Amino acid sequence: MDDSTNATGKNWWQRLTGGLRRTSASISGAIADLVTKRKLDEATIEELEEVLIRADLGIDTAGRVAAAIAEGRYNKTVTEDEVKDILATEVEKILAPVAAPLTIAPDAHPFVILVVGVNGSGKTTTIGKLAARLAREGRKVTLVAGDTFRAAATEQLKIWSQRTGASIVAGTQGADAAGLAYTGLEQAREQGADVLIVDTAGRLQNKAGLMSELDKIVRVMKKLDTTAPHAVLLVLDATVGQNAISQVTEFQKTAGVTGLVMTKLDGTARGGILVALAAKYRLPVHFIGVGEGVDDLAPFAARDFARAIAGLN
């Protein structure tokens, strides 16, 4: 567990459990209601399963967890903590294989990260938080304001560049995003940047024209470095629940997603969607966002997350 404290004096565990409170409250509240002073019978197990489905864990996972809870415990009384422990253990098993740090390969100069996702999912904010984290590690970061649709998008990224000390390459509104990514990569090379992060405009996963623009950004950067981009991060907003599933499917097809970041886990009771995604796609989950602040992004840790959504300490 990362126990570093931020400006508000909270350590990471406090921020994580605080951020996931709505998800854990809905799950653990329901668990408490169900198991208190009751024997574990078929009806209770079914209700537990429904609770997990409502928290967006996915039908398969909910079934598996319910079966694990039921095993050897029929017609016995169980405690709330027993059930939470089994839930956390099962969820951790699903999450452990996908919890992978974003490794900045040392042989890529710069290491290029393309950030994609639907409108408002948290891309630009995540880039700011990530730039801060990389800068703290002593890396030289350049940002590309590849969202050229809105002037405000460039301004937003500029503010993050000032806060984090990252360089920024920006164009005029309406400029060609792929051209800007090309220039960005050229400049980052000249300046000896370690990491280049390319912001993109939000796009709906079902809009073919915009999706093909991502493909163009990738193709153009490959002209300078055939191995770029070295990471394609799909930023998902946890509050959308099940819609995240189709976002992963579509962006994986067009943009070759290499890893996920899930944001806004603090604003939803549907944090279980991360578990459903892990079970379905097995794509690495690198970071989670639990707030708007610069410190509210952390490497994804399976055990911490599993215990937090189960409402354990």
Binding status of residue 124 toward Mg ion by CB under 5 A: yes
Cβ 120 to Mg ion shortest distance, Å: 8
Does 289 sit near ligand GTP (CB under 6 A)?
yes
Q: Are 230 and 111 in contact (CB under 8 A)?
A: yes
Which stretch of DSSP H or E encloses residue 113? strand 111-116
In terms of C-beta density within 10 A (0-12 exposed, 13-18 middle, 19 or more buried), how is residue 165 classed?
exposed
Burial of 162 (0-12, 13-18, 19+ CB in 10 A): exposed
The verdict on whether omega for the bond into residue 110 sits within 30 degrees of 0, i.e. cis, is yes
Of 241, 256, 267, 299, the one binding ligand GTP (CB under 6 A) is 267
Interface with Mg ion: number of residues (CB under 5 A): 2
- Closest alpha carbon to 306 in 149, 45, 85, 61: 85
- Per-residue binding string, ligand GTP, 167-206, x by CB under 6 A, is -----------------------------------x----
Q: Which residue number is nearest to Mg ion in terms of Cβ?
A: 124
**247 touches ligand GTP (CB under 6 A):** no
Q: Does residue 147 bind ligand GTP (CB under 6 A)?
A: yes
284 touches which of Mg ion, ligand GTP, none (CB within 5 to 8 A by kind)? none
22 vs 44: CA distance, rounded Å = 23
Of these, 58, 110, 122, 271, which contacts ligand GTP (CB under 6 A)? 122
Structure tokens at 178: 């792929």
Q: Which of 61, 124, 161, 247 binds ligand GTP (CB under 6 A)?
A: 124
Sequence-distant (6+) residues with CB within 8 A of 127 are 115, 143, 157, 160, 197, 199
* Contact flag: residue 268 with ligand GTP (CB under 6 A): no
Pinpoint the alpha helices (H) of the chain. 12-19, 21-35, 42-54, 59-70, 80-95, 123-136, 151-164, 177-190, 208-224, 243-255, 273-281, 302-310
Of these, 63, 120, 256, 299, which contacts ligand GTP (CB under 6 A)?
A: 120
Contact letters (x/-) for ligand GTP, 200-229, by CB under 6 A?
A: --x---------------------------
Q: Nearer Cβ to Mg ion, position 84 or 123? A: 123
Instruction: State in angstroms the smallest separation of the CB of 60 from ligand GTP.
Output: 27
**Min. distance of Cβ 226 from ligand GTP in angstroms?**
28
Residues that bind ligand GTP (CB under 6 A): 117, 119-125, 147, 153, 202, 263-264, 266-267, 289-292, 296
Residues that bind Mg ion (CB under 5 A): 123-124
